[in-house]
């Protein structure tokens, strides 16, 4: 089996590749070849170096998507994207990468299939940004996609293309709308959503973190481990069970910032909680007020997708996967 990961140097892309390295049979057959694509250099997984080839290319540039489709991978994970803030700030770049890049990939697969029959599985990383306020209390599986960002628009368009190309038989596609990933590893960044992770990740290693919103802010979360699980499950799921509606809101945990903090207290103690510094930021408050807070993801749940049920679980996964299983700064 030949597996292609586009956006392999991103946070989820790396973790997905790590999962392959831990078990070559994870996709229901032996991974005999792995192609990793990103615009930046992709770290090579040591355990898979003999079967891996990395490409530092931009799929929106002419010829690149055709080159990748020409490799005829069996499973394609498409995670490459310009993030929300940048797609809003740079209109041309956002549309070029997130829409034209995706369409170039889809079309290259279609044209490859015209040469000789070819119908790979394609798993697309979509986002809850396809939805736009005002929202119902829980966003159901049949709620319309009226994004309020260019990023959300590009993801919603990609979802429509994915469904039509799948219906036509050009590939067997599935789009998965990821919740906000928490705890995001790495250093604090400037994303408006960064604080959801910062207020857990930093105190767990004895560092201060800033909370710019009130504790009654509610949002929708899943761990990086759950996200990787979603991709693996989407790649191996019988898509006849999914039918024509190929884009699914993934399960998640709807929780308050206050519940995050209570979970931190239970897992790491009062000392960790005291490292959260409250610094209200009106701009971030306003941005976050427009975000969805809860979903009814029963379709995905019925198809076997699973996420965490508590923030305690999410924190423990972070400790296991990023901190070697123990914390030294709690208490």
- By the rule CB under 8 A, 281 interacts with a second copy: no
Distances in Å between the Cα of 66 and the Cα atoms of 61, 106, 114 are 10, 10, 12
- By the rule CB under 8 A, 148 interacts with a second copy: yes
Among 59, 97, 161, 319, binds a second copy (CB under 8 A): 161
Among 57, 83, 163, 301, binds a second copy (CB under 8 A): 163
Please report how many Cα atoms fall inside a 13 Å half-sphere around the Cα of residue 116, on the Cβ side.
Answer: 4
- Specify the residue, 156 or 327, whose C-beta has the smaller distance to a second copy: 156
Q: Which residues pair with 255 in a beta bridge?
A: 219
Among 245, 266, 271, 278, binds a second copy (CB under 8 A): 245
Among positions 115-134, residues that touch a second copy (CB under 8 A) are 132
- Specify the residue, 18 or 141, whose C-beta has the smaller distance to a second copy: 141
- By the rule CB under 8 A, 157 interacts with a second copy: yes
Write down the least CB distance from residue 321 to a second copy, Å: 35
Nearest 5°: phi and psi at 268? -120, -5
Among 22, 56, 89, 160, binds a second copy (CB under 8 A): 160
Among positions 195-214, residues that touch a second copy (CB under 8 A) are none
- The rounded distance, in Å, linking the Cα atoms of 109 and 65 is 8
Binding mask 167-186 for a second copy (x = CB under 8 A): xx------------------
Write down the least CB distance from residue 148 to a second copy, Å: 6
Q: Check: CB of residue 108 under 8 Å from CB of residue 68.
A: yes
Residue 276's contacts (CB-CB under 8 Å, 6 or more residues apart) are: 199, 203, 208, 209, 210, 211, 261, 264
- By the rule CB under 8 A, 286 interacts with a second copy: no
- By the rule CB under 8 A, 84 interacts with a second copy: no
- By the rule CB under 8 A, 108 interacts with a second copy: no
**Segment (H or E) for 15:** helix 11-22
Q: Which stretch binds a second copy (CB under 8 A): 147-155, 173-181, 193-201, 262-270?
A: 147-155
Active site residues: 151
- The rounded distance, in Å, linking the Cα atoms of 297 and 135 is 15
Q: Check: CB of residue 53 under 8 Å from CB of residue 38.
A: no
Nearest 5°: phi and psi at 126? -100, -165
CA 191, distance to chain mean position in Å, is: 15
Residue numbers of the site for a second copy (CB under 8 A)? Answer: 91, 132, 142-148, 150, 153, 156-157, 160-161, 163-164, 167-168, 244-245
């Amino acid at each position: 089996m030949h597996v292609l990961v586009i956006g392999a140097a991103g946070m989820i892309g790396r973790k997905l590749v790590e999962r392959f390295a831990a078990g070559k049979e994870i996709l229901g057959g032996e991974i005999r070849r792995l192609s990793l694509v990103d615009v930046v250099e992709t770290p090579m997984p040591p355990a898979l170096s003999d079967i891996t080839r990395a490409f530092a290319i931009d799929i929106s540039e002419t010829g690149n998507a055709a080159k990748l489709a020409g490799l005829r991978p069996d499973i394609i994970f498409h995670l490459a994207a310009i993030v929300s803030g940048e797609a809003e700030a740079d209109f041309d770049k956002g549309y070029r990468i997130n829409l034209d890049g995706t369409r170039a990939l889809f079309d290259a697969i279609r044209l490859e299939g015209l040469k000789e029959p070819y119908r790979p599985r394609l798993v697309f990383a979509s986002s809850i940004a396809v939805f736009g306020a005002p929202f119902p209390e829980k966003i159901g599986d049949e709620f319309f996609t009226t994004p309020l960002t260019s990023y959300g628009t590009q993801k919603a368009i990609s979802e429509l293309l994915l469904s039509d190309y799948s219906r036509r038989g050009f590939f067997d596609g599935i789009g998965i709308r990821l919740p906000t990933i928490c705890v995001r590893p790495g250093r604090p960044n400037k994303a408006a959503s960064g604080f959801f992770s910062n207020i857990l990740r930093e105190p767990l290693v004895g560092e201060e973190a800033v909370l710019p919103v009130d504790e009654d802010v509610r949002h929708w979360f899943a761990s990086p481990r759950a996200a990787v699980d979603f991709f693996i499950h989407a790649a191996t799921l019988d898509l006849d069970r999914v039918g024509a509606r190929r884009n699914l809101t993934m399960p998640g945990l709807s929780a308050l910032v206050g519940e995050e903090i209570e979970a931190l207290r239970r897992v790491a103690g009062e000392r960790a909680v005291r490292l959260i510094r409250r610094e209200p930021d009106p701009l971030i408050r306003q941005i976050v007020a427009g975000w969805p807070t809860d979903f009814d993801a029963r379709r995905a749940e019925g198809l076997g997708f699973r996420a965490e049920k508590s923030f305690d679980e999410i924190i423990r996964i972070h400790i296991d996967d990023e901190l070697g299983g123990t914390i030294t700064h709690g208490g």
